[in-house]
């Protein structure tokens, strides 16, 4: 009877972790990873599935030499026609519509992939946070204001925004308003100059 062989795969951490040959540079590797992940998502989305938990730990390196990856862990996935759960996606890769309690679709997987690719490119989590409120603050600080229509329709908007659309975080004792403009300046100052120039 043949023995079952299990191949060891490692989670992807940084595009330049691949063995770089003279013909491969980080841009080529990142492009290859992006294409493979988009093809995997296209297949899932074609079946009407949303992955719902795309993160670096769920993209495994199949082959360093051939720059092959695979998307794994469909444990949180659901069909677009299912009653959609409000608690999906690992927080750093969670789309704003999920946080705000809006209905969502396969676009949340694309949001997560974008966060992952930025992380692979820079080596840092794009939206570092310690709560959903600080995640929203980082999104606003880096990308810009959240669409007013999304804020108006979100079932959970009140948990993070005042009626005047000021972002806040509630702690055990009081409300703490998050100054997004200050956070954006701090993010920009903390970011190395070469990363600021990335389009």
Q: Which residues are catalytic?
A: 53
Residues 6+ apart with CB under 8 A from 127: 92, 115, 135, 138, 139, 142
Between CA 111 and CA 93 the distance in angstroms is 7
Q: What are phi and psi of 68, to 5 degrees?
A: -110, 135
Q: Which two tokens stand for residue 187?
A: 């993010």
Q: What is the DSSP string of 40-53?
A: HHHHHHHTTEE---
Strand partners, 177: 168
């Amino acid at each position: 009877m043949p023995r079952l062989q299990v191949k060891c795969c490692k989670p992807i951490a940084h595009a330049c972790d691949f063995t770089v040959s003279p013909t491969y540079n980080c841009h080529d590797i990142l492009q290859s990873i992006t294409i493979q992940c988009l093809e995997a998502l296209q297949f899932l989305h074609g079946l009407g599935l949303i992955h719902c938990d795309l993160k670096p730990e769920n993209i495994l390196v199949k082959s360093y030499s051939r720059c092959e990856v695979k998307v794994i862990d469909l444990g949180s996935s659901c069909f677009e026609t299912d009653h959609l759960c409000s608690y999906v996606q690992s927080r750093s890769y969670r789309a704003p519509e999920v946080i705000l309690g809006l209905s969502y679709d396969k676009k949340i997987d694309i949001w997560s992939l974008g966060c992952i690719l930025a992380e692979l490119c820079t080596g840092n989590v794009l939206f570092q946070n310690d709560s959903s409120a600080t995640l929203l603050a980082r999104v606003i600080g880096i990308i810009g204001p959240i669409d007013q229509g999304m804020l108006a329709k979100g079932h959970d908007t009140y948990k993070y925004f005042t009626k005047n659309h000021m972002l806040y975080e509630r702690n055990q004792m009081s409300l703490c308003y998050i100054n997004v403009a200050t956070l954006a300046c701090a993010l920009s100052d903390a970011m190395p100059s070469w990363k600021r120039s990335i389009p």
